[in-house]
Amino acid sequence: MQLRHIGEIKVRNKEHIAITVPLCYSNYIRMTAMSKLKHTFKTDVLFKMLFTKYPGSLKQLTAHLLRIPVSSIGEFKVESPEMPPDGVGDKFCRLDILMTIDGQKVNLEIQVEDEGDFPERTLFYWARIYSNSLRTGKDYIHLPRTIIISILDFTLFKGHNEYHSEFQLLEVTRHHRLTDKMLLHFFELPKLPEIADKDNLLHLWLSLFKAETREDLKMIEDMGVTEINEIVTAYHKLAQSPEFREMERQREKTQMNEASALRNEREKTEKRLNKKWKGIVADKDAEIKKLRRQLADLNGV
């Protein structure tokens, strides 16, 4: 097999003399695999902890996702920034980030796995946030504009190359907008360009979520964009913190307990079914024997 030369690397030989050797693709793959990030920007617990601890970076990220100037944002509040330690890892635990931005409700979430129902789930979350925003005694006209932003690590809309899709409520023939109070944004990471554009901050921010190795992050850091490097530094600090490690431990414990509970329930169900079917089989065997005796009597045997 021919090895593709993709560069050079300096190493030391037995005499400790530095020499330059070709870096081939197979060696590069092995080196990259060794530097794979244990926790990425897509790690749900790290994602919420990081951006609620650094709201300035969250504000910048959200502004780029909505394609608005950061300076245009006045009111900016993170709703329920606390982490539920006992619920981390539970399938009903929401680790998205709900914000109020200039009177609008904006929900930002990461989704790694395609479970086949993401559009329906998105509508459900939008409806819940929208309806829960109506205060007692207020008219429907006071319901806030509600925006869902979803960063996806899978392809949701196949057959289209655009990584950003925006949905609103429109009339199907005239394309007249019914209301501006529903906005759904989807950002599909697999459709991002392979090489991040230094002059496109939205690309750079999304590239952080796509990064899987230390080399990926280093390449983005080397572009020298201040707001990006600040959040990368914060990411490294948080990923090594006792607080985050404890959250991860709680999540692993919850997931293990849930898996154990499911396994036990499955075993109990199997036992109940086996007992039930054994009883059915025994009843059928007894009925067959009875019919055979009746048939034997009729035949005079």
Residue 29 lies in a domain: yes
Phi first, then psi: what are they for 56, rounded to 5°? -65, -40
Would you say residue 299 lies in a domain?
no
Asked whether residue 247 is domain-assigned, the answer is no
- Asked if 92 and 229 sit in the same domain, the reply is yes
* 108, 144: one domain: yes
Q: Which residues, including other chains, have CB under 8 Å from residue 282's CB and lie 6 or more apart?
A: none
Residue 13, domain extent: 5-34
At which of 206, 237, 268 does a domain end? 237
User: What pTM was estimated for this model as a whole?
Assistant: 0.73
Of 189, 208, 237, the position where a domain reaches its end is 237
Clarify whether residues 14 and 86 are in a common domain: no
> One digit per residue, pLDDT tens: the chain, 301 residues?
344 444 554 444 445 455 454 555 455 454 545 589 989 999 988 999 999 999 999 999 999 999 999 999 999 999 977 655 444 444 444 579 999 999 999 999 999 999 999 999 999 999 999 999 988 888 999 999 999 999 999 999 999 999 999 999 999 999 999 999 999 999 999 999 988 888 999 999 999 999 999 999 999 999 999 999 999 999 999 999 998 888 888 777 776 777 777 787 887 888 788 878 887 888 888 888 888 888 877 776 5
Total count of domains within the chain = 2
- Give Rg (Cα) of the chain: 28
Find how far residue 207's CA is from the centre of its chain. 15
Q: Are strands 146-152 and 177-188 parallel, antiparallel or unpaired?
A: parallel
Residue 17 in domain: yes
The verdict on residue 167 lying in a domain is yes
Q: Which residue among 186, 216, 237 closes a domain?
A: 237
- Could you tell me where the DSSP H helices lie in the chain? 25-34, 44-53, 55-66, 118-132, 201-210, 214-221, 226-239, 242-298
